[in-house]
Amino acid sequence: MAEALILPTGEAIAARRRFLVLRKLAHHNSFRIGFVIVLLMVVAAILAPVITGLDPTAMRIRFRFRPPSAEFPFGTDQFGRDLLTRVLYGAQLSLWIGLAVAVLSAVVGAAVGVLSAQYRRLDSLLMRIMDALMAAPAILLAIGLGAALGPQTHSVIIALAVAYIPRTARIVRASALVTRELEFIEAARVSGASSVRIMFRHLLPNATGPLLVQSTFVFAYAILAEAALSFLGIGPPPPEPSWGNIIAEGRDFAVQSWWIMLFPGIAISLAALGMNLLGDGLRDVLDPRLKVES
């Protein structure tokens, strides 16, 4: 009871703030464009079987290396597979990977960040480990882990997530440390709130803004990174298409059949662009002074 009086945001005030935030987002240009782009891609990915009736892995050697045409809007690859179909199905996989990496790094990163901020003894240990993970460039760590875990979809997800957890953790920790210094935390503690309660009811909710912004950028980077990993031979294995492995397979035929590489690359760029715009919008609305590390 005493805690409820001391907290600056009651339930009603929090709800109204959320509504105001949503309204601001709806008016923000970058956010709107990004949201539309991402929405269209997600819908296209989900509706892939409806849009094209073809099987992305079906090889029809008769139709190999066809340039873009009415019958094959994106052309065909070296096995005669329709590229439009492959890119659409690839969207399913690549977007899924992006989402999984973003969510995983957000969850684990938030846990690490909040725990470090709350328990000072854990802080040194956790932050040392995070620093160690950041001592190598993210992509390098992902390459190593990805190779270690084998060429499968989940290896890529775990590898990229591990590479981004320290960066997310740092952001959540920074936010949590600031929140901790605010007076109402002192008041909550004095009125008997346990550490766990403080973490869940105060530190975590106040960090959702920066966390959300960071996660959208992680999503964008994961899509780009998955492509790079597939290009290096570490990633979702054929024949299931991902945007990255379509490019990887098409590299050898780049000179004569440029369309194999072009369209998945455009798809990747579009998805990353959409997510970046989304992230910009979120950042401007949730905290205009946030300096984001991607």
Instruction: Point out which residues bind another protein (CB under 8 A).
Output: 128-129, 131-140, 143-145, 147-150, 220, 224, 227-228, 231-233, 247, 251, 254-255, 258, 261-262, 265, 268-269, 272-273, 276-277, 289, 291, 293-294
Q: Which is nearer to another protein, 134 or 193 (CB)?
A: 134
Q: Which is nearer to another protein, 71 or 131 (CB)?
A: 131
Q: Which is nearer to another protein, 203 or 222 (CB)?
A: 222
Q: Which is nearer to another protein, 39 or 61 (CB)?
A: 39
Tokens of 227: 């492509």
Closest distance of CB 153 from another protein, Å: 17
Closest distance of CB 269 from another protein, Å: 5
Q: Which is nearer to another protein, 204 or 264 (CB)?
A: 264
Written in H, E and C, the secondary structure of 183-240 is HHHHHHHHCCCCHHHHHHHHHHHHHHHHHHHHHHHHHHHHHHHHHHHHHCCCCCCCCC
Closest distance of CB 170 from another protein, Å: 11
Closest distance of CB 182 from another protein, Å: 22
β-bridge partners, 286: none
Indicate left, alpha or beta for 60 from its phi (over 0: left) and psi (-120 to 50: alpha): beta
Q: Please, are residues 83 and 231 in contact by the beta-carbon 8 Å criterion?
A: no
Q: Please, are residues 229 and 117 in contact by the beta-carbon 8 Å criterion?
A: no
DSSP assignment letter at 256: T
Closest distance of CB 231 from another protein, Å: 5
Q: How far is CA 98 from the centre of its chain?
A: 4
β-bridge partners, 76: 82
